[in-house]
Amino acid sequence: MGVKTDSISCPNCGSLDVYKDNENIFHCNSCGGTFLVNVDDNLLNAIKKIKTINRNPEESFTSGIVTKVKFEPEEFKKEAFEALRDSYDSPSYIFDEMECGEVKLIDVPLIQVIGHADVNYSRLVGFDREEVHTEFKKYKDISGNEHIQPIEHTEIKTDWHTENGMLSGDENALDFNDDNLQFNSIFNNLYAAKDDEFEDLPEDVLDSTKINKSSLNYLKTRMISSVYRSKIQPSGDHQKDERYDGRVTIEKTILIIAKVYTLSIKIRDKEILLHSPAFDKLGVGIDGEFPLEDDANQFENKVQELMDERDSVNKKPKMISNISFISAAIIFILLLFIGFGNNILVLEILAFVLPIILIIVGIIYKSKASNISIQYKVKMDHLDEERENNIKKAKQEGFNKFYN
């Protein structure tokens, strides 16, 4: 610990709880910052280099990058309007009634960690085996003689065994603050971003930014989970009760500042946020809930009317079909029983002929009911398609008027 001084305040937080490490270097106990007083540029660069080498990746960032802005706000604005026009959920009147804000370029911070994870795990592994059981059943033949028949049943049993082990692997993971959850799709694209889409963050920005501890712990958990999921091998026929934990060694902690375009709109009582990464045209994300179409209830009523009409028209053929199949079964059993019991040939023949006729009738009416259902489905699809085309046309006209 250096010598305490009350004459110099920390330039980062203004605290007077400052200690002098040597002639030019001062350390602040309040914010943890280190700063220099009356020092030339060569010494300043040397100190920064030493700080980078000695920096603990779990306490501060080892490096930092920021995404480059690759296209203009007006380009994003047009893409945002096109996304509103093409969205299935946006209403037909969106461009007629929406209130539109200004395009903003914001900085969204992320943490990327690179390191190594050692994972200890345990799980139950199941191995299947067959057990055969024999059951003896009594039955009588046509003459009334009693017999015993062995019937085999095969049952699958699972034997469970505990498996323990250790897995290791190098991993990296990316996380962001909960306030920026809506930008998740953008962050996923950062993995595919090229090196020329980034610039190094200034050293003073990096030094003044603290690591979010909860994010760091979350990332460690993700790295452990990722190593386990990628390294674990299937075993036995079943696995359950998986448990794993481990230790993560962080090698690098990188601060990434993602440049993001945003545009807020309000339509009726709904607020919608549109966003896109400024480092590449990867599409526009839409967060929020659109209001319903004005004719939403009316459209649902039309669909319900068609469904009710279909059920009414289908009622008779379905009933005839069901009665035919049931009657065929009953007549077959009755006539066959009476005919064979009394040796009446006519009844034996009718026991086969009449059910066949009834089954044919049942098939004909079942096919008729099926055709009716298909016809009404075509009607409902046509109604839906017509409404969707009208909405698309209204949105295209609104887009042309609004954007031009």
Residues 346-387: tens digit of each pLDDT: 777 887 888 899 999 999 999 999 999 999 999 999 999 999
- Confidence (pLDDT) at 11: 65
Q: Provide the token pair at 360.
A: 């044919």
Entry pTM: 0.60
106-135 average pLDDT score:
90
The structure tokens 């009449």 sit at: 354
Alpha carbon dihedral 177, 181, 186, 187, in 10-degree steps, equals 40
Q: Are 309 and 376 in contact (CB under 8 A)?
A: yes
Specify the amino acid at residue 138. Answer: K
- Confidence (pLDDT) at 194: 58
E strand residue ranges, 141-269: 146-176, 198-200, 238-267
193-221 average pLDDT score:
75
Torsions phi, psi for 174 (to 5 deg): -130, 135
Helix-strand-coil percent breakdown of the chain, rounded to 5?
Answer: 45, 35, 25
The Cα 126–Cα 124 span in angstroms is 7
Decide if pLDDT at 50 tops 50: no
- Confidence (pLDDT) at 244: 93
Residues 297-319: tens digit of each pLDDT: 888 888 999 999 999 999 999 99
- Confidence (pLDDT) at 146: 85
E strand residue ranges, 268-367: 270-277, 285-287
Decide if pLDDT at 2 tops 80: no
The Cα 53–Cα 249 span in angstroms is 17
- 94 burial (CB, 10 Å; 0-12 / 13-18 / 19+) is buried
Mean pLDDT of the residues in the chain: 82
Reported as a pLDDT band with limits 50, 70 and 90, residue 57 is: low
Residues 155-168: tens digit of each pLDDT: 999 999 999 999 99
Q: Are 179 and 170 in contact (CB under 8 A)?
A: no
Residue 173 C-alpha from the chain's centroid: 18
The Cα 267–Cα 100 span in angstroms is 9
